[in-house]
Amino acid sequence: MGGATMRAIVVDEPGPPEVLQSRELPRPEPGPGQVRLRVAFVGMNPVDALVRRERLDWMPVRYPFTPGLEHTGVVDAVGPDVDGAWLGRRVLSRTSFGGYADWSLAPVRGLLQVPEGISLRDGCIWRGCTYTAWHALHRCARLQRGERLLVHSAAGAVGLMALQVAREASASVVGLCGGPAKVEWVRSFGFDAVVDYLDAGWPALAQAAVPGGAFDVILDGNGGPQAAHNHALVAPLGRVLYLGAMAGASPPPVPVGMLIDKSFSVGGMTLRQVEVAPGSEADLAMIAAIREGRWRLPVGDVVPLAEVAALHRRLEARALRGRAVIEVGGEAVR
């Protein structure tokens, strides 16, 4: 690779993982309001796969584009109007694509400095999954001490962080995941119970796992037809919160009569609507929980950039656990 070019994964049109093509492109130069990152790691955010298939109306892209929403790196160039103090900083970019490349351009207004004590590898995943779980439980679902929580996709990054956030609130937490291997891994994080939803009788097994057979809060990032079981599993005055639809379809409509009779609520959340500013009390508390080891970051597979198409296929087959990480330049980037 020449000094003025770089590796990049490019999508020319929406489609399956095979549309992810490796190219050699000119190394970009930052414009006004931008910095250039020497990319270190990319978190395998499901958004990258959903956008690749053109399934997110609220996040359109122009083709060709390079995926890689959540990525870390070191700033090695700044635009003409950007403070030079950014040069050399370890940063996380979460507001623009481009991480599937040796260099990316990012708006400076969307950068976050990776805190000391957190590696660039961990830095590419920690904020998205940790902050999603914390805000979902505390700000949107209003989880109270001692309540019963059911977590769909418990083997995913948000599900595993939700367990740890809820445990600090002394909640009882039951996780749902698919297959013996995922069940075993999820149990290692300390759920009160783990249920395999490949078992057709999983709703009854989940009910049997908690006193009263119902849940005060249900977090669901899957959606799809199985989400109808949430209406029976939620307790009176409970809260069902949807974080996505990885099952490929939106949840079914809620029967209004049941909604009224049980007096439960149904809502949704995306992190961009609720995220707190860096340096806030909640922000510092979450950083401390990671640094001190109270929360275990759910890093799954770590793969090189050349294997990104295979990683997308595994994501769509629901074969990943935790949050996979794509290594581009690694910890040694400068």
pLDDT tens for 223-244 read 888 999 999 999 999 999 999 8
pLDDT of 105 > 70? The answer is yes
Q: What value does the mean pLDDT take over residues 46-56?
A: 88
> For the structural domain made of 5-114+298-327, what CATH number should be given?
3.90.180.10
pTM above 0.75, yes or no: yes
Q: Do domains 5-114+298-327 and 127-274 have the same CATH topology?
A: no
d(C-alpha 161, C-alpha 296), whole Å: 8
| Pair 118, 198: CB distance under 8 Å | no
Q: Does domain 127-274 have CATH number 3.20.20.70?
A: no
pLDDT of 297 > 70? The answer is yes
Return the C-alpha torsion angle 253, 236, 208, 157, nearest 10.
60
pLDDT of 46 > 90? The answer is no
Q: What is the pLDDT of residue 15?
A: 96
pLDDT tens string 21-37 = 999 999 999 999 999 99
pLDDT of 248 > 80? The answer is no
pLDDT of 1 > 70? The answer is no
CA 97 to chain centre: 15
pLDDT above 70 coverage of the chain, percent: 99
What letters, b where the CB count within 10 A reaches 16 and e where it falls short, cover 171-182? Answer: bbbbbbbbeeeb
Indicate the average pLDDT of the chain.
93
- Listed by start position, the domains of the chain span 5-114+298-327, 127-274
Query: Is 200 strand, coil or helix?
Result: coil
The model's confidence at residue 2, banded by pLDDT at 50, 70 and 90, is very low
Within 8 A by CB and 6+ apart from 9, the residues are 20, 21, 22, 23, 66, 67, 68, 100, 101, 305, 308
Q: What is the pLDDT of residue 3?
A: 62
pLDDT of 323 > 70? The answer is yes
pLDDT tens string 156-173 = 999 999 999 999 999 999
Q: What is the pLDDT of residue 180?
A: 94
